[in-house]
């Protein structure tokens, strides 16, 4: 009898070892190694390599650098402008895209909707989680008709590739990669070796047939993509679909992209008809702002290449307990502590016995340092209990010395504030150099220090 080959894999990062280890040498996690069968010694099953000769596969040959055509490959454009943006201008033929997000966030809904909207090419939607009836009911709710959309409910990759050979689709969507099962590997679906083998088979299929593949994946309780870390290295693009399920808004963020920028993101609103792309999120994020309430400021931030106006809320109260609280939502807690220290040191404000709460309205998580100025303005407004003027917004980073530092793409921020009807925008005086403020119908106020900001506002 042929000898069965086994190996030990780390459940956290996918590190392979010939024997069991207590601590993973790659990710330093303890007690994460499990034994899995990698080869039974027989080759009775077949994978994608057995079918690739029957489909229009690319012929590999050696090319000199001068023989390579530098013209951009024609992309597949979807009717969803947000997906086109995060992918760098459309779907690249032959690319493999991994999409991850929390359960119930709307991954399946978004890509079923996207597949139904692309009516000019043949699309195959492979589902290993839901039945055909469930997907049909969801498609009926979306109310989109497409004669070139085909559905396959199967988890065994060998059967999937037999069906692909018959249909020859132009786009393949797999929901989800953790449910796939390859008969070459004797392990349960979702295990490290199964995810790696199934993803590798679809990668070979995508590259050899020039067919784009979307792999929908799960995340762990820590927020990382489930499966081995090599899964993210194998694919061309990694998209993270995030947002609080209790809020209506979702963000599709690019974590890795070999064909475009990783600074892009798309914003969606979930409703009864599916996912609606939000083309102008600034209007939505600041429409619920009440008049004449202290502790609220508008920040002109940038998410990728897109200017975004968001509302920053702050609440400063007298501490009842011995240790003051520092609570935040959507903003870095260490950054908040840094800004409070700057206000105490450079401005003389006593936050040491105050409870401080900061919230980014709409459930967004913002990492742009240009919202520092808005956070400080909201803190000072709540500290003095004086509301800020309604038609004013802020764009500036705050340094440890209390200086207001310049931020990038200031012209786009000013243009977005002007478009939404703001009358003033406060920026760093170092941004004023080379800025043609006369052409804008908004007053640009340039300040240099936090003390000047307090004197100007209060």
In a domain, 58, yes or no: no
In a domain, 102, yes or no: yes
Q: Are 30 and 92 in a shared domain?
A: no
Q: Cβ(8)–Cβ(19) under 8 Å?
A: yes
Looking at residue 305, its pLDDT comes to 77
Question: CA dist 135 to 131, 360, 365, 424, 452, Å?
Answer: 7, 35, 31, 50, 59
Looking at residue 60, its pLDDT comes to 67
Residue closest to 110 by CA, chosen among 209, 204, 239: 239
Which CATH number does the domain housing residue 94 bear? 3.40.50.300
Which CATH number does the domain housing residue 446 bear? 3.30.230.10
Q: Are 198 and 96 in a shared domain?
A: yes
In a domain, 336, yes or no: yes
Q: What is the mean pLDDT of residues 82-98?
A: 91
Q: Please enumerate, by residue number, every residue annotated as part of a binding site for ATP.
A: 101-108
Q: Are 313 and 254 in a shared domain?
A: no
Q: Are 32 and 130 in a shared domain?
A: no
Rounded CA-CA distance 231/130 in Å is: 23
At residue 327, the 3 state secondary structure works out as: strand
Looking at residue 59, its pLDDT comes to 63
Q: Are 384 and 441 in a shared domain?
A: yes
In a domain, 199, yes or no: yes
Q: Are 176 and 319 in a shared domain?
A: no
For 421, other C-beta atoms within 10 Å of its C-beta total 10
Share of the chain above pLDDT 70, in %: 90
Q: Are 119 and 195 in a shared domain?
A: yes
User: 262-290 pLDDT, tens per residue?
Assistant: 878 888 888 878 888 887 777 777 765 56
> What's the domain range around 425?
288-457
Q: Are 15 and 91 in a shared domain?
A: no
Q: Band of the pLDDT at 357, cuts 50, 70, 90?
A: very high
Residue with tokens 């792309």: 277
User: 205-255 pLDDT, tens per residue?
Assistant: 999 999 999 999 988 877 788 877 888 889 999 999 887 666 677 888 888
Q: Please enumerate, by residue number, every residue annotated as part of a binding site.
A: 101-108
In a domain, 307, yes or no: yes
Range in 188-192, 308-312, 451-455 the model is least confident about: 188-192
Q: Which of 300-309, 356-365, 447-456 has the highest mean pLDDT?
A: 447-456
Q: Which of 182-196, 271-285, 335-349 has the highest mean pLDDT?
A: 335-349
Please confirm whether the linkage preceding 176 is cis (ω < 30° from 0). yes
In a domain, 64, yes or no: no
Share of the chain above pLDDT 90, in %: 39
Range in 94-103, 271-280, 374-383 the model is least confident about: 271-280
Give yes or no for residue 44 having a pLDDT over 50.
no
Domain final residue, candidates 279, 307, 341: 279
Q: What is the mean pLDDT of residues 187-202?
A: 87
How many structural domains does the chain have? Answer: 3
In a domain, 73, yes or no: no
Q: Are 329 and 428 in a shared domain?
A: yes
In a domain, 161, yes or no: yes
**Chain centroid offset of residue 78 CA:** 18
Q: Are 87 and 196 in a shared domain?
A: yes
């Amino acid at each position: 009898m042929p000898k069965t080959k086994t190996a030990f894999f780390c459940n956290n990062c996918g590190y392979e070892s010939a024997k069991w280890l207590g601590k993973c040498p790659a990710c330093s996690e303890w007690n994460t190694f499990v034994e899995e069968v990698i080869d039974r010694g027989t080759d009775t099953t077949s994978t994608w390599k057995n079918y690739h000769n029957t489909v229009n596969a690319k012929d590999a040959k050696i090319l000199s650098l001068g023989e390579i055509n530098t013209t951009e490959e024609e992309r597949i454009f979807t009717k969803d402008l947000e997906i086109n943006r995060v992918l760098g201008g459309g779907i690249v033929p032959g690319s493999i895209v991994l999409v991850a997000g929390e359960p119930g966030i709307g991954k399946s809904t978004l890509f079923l909707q996207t597949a139904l909207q692309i009516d000019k090419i043949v699309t195959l939607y492979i589902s290993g989680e839901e039945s055909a009836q469930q997907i049909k009911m969801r498609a009926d709710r979306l109310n989109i008709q497409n004669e070139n959309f085909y559905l396959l409910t199967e988890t065994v990759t060998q059967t999937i590739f037999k069906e692909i050979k018959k249909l020859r689709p132009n786009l393949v969507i797999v929901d989800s990669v953790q449910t796939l099962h390859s008969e070459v590997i004797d392990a349960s679906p979702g295990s490290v070796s199964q995810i790696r083998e199934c993803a590798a088979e679809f990668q070979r299929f995508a590259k050899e047939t020039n067919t784009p593949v979307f792999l929908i994946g799960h995340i762990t309780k820590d927020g990382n993509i489930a499966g081995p870390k090599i899964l993210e290295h194998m694919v061309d693009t990694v998209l993270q679909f995030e947002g609080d399920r209790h809020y209506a808004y979702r963000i599709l963020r690019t974590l890795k992209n070999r064909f475009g920028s990783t600074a892009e993101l798309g914003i969606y609103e979930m409703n009864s008809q599916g996912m609606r792309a939000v083309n102008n999120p600034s209007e939505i994020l600041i429409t619920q702002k009440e008049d004449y309430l202290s502790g609220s400021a508008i920040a002109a931030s940038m998410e990728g290449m897109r200017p975004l106006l968001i509302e920053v809320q702050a609440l400063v109260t007298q501490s009842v307990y011995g240790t003051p609280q520092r609570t935040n939502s959507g903003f870095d807690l260490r950054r908040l502590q840094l800004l409070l220290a700057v206000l105490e040191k450079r401005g003389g404000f006593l936050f040491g016995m105050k409870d401080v709460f900061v919230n980014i309205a709409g459930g967004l998580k913002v990492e742009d340092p240009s919202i520092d100025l808005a956070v400080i303005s909201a803190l000072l407004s709540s500290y003095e209990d004086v509301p800020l003027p309604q038609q004013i917004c802020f764009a500036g980073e705050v340094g440890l010395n209390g200086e207001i530092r310049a931020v990038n793409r200031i012209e786009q921020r000013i243009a977005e504030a002007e478009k939404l009807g703001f009358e003033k925008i406060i920026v760093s005086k170092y941004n004023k150099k080379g800025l043609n403020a006369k052409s804008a119908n908004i007053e640009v106020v340039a300040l240099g220090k936090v003390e000047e900001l307090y004197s100007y506002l209060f």
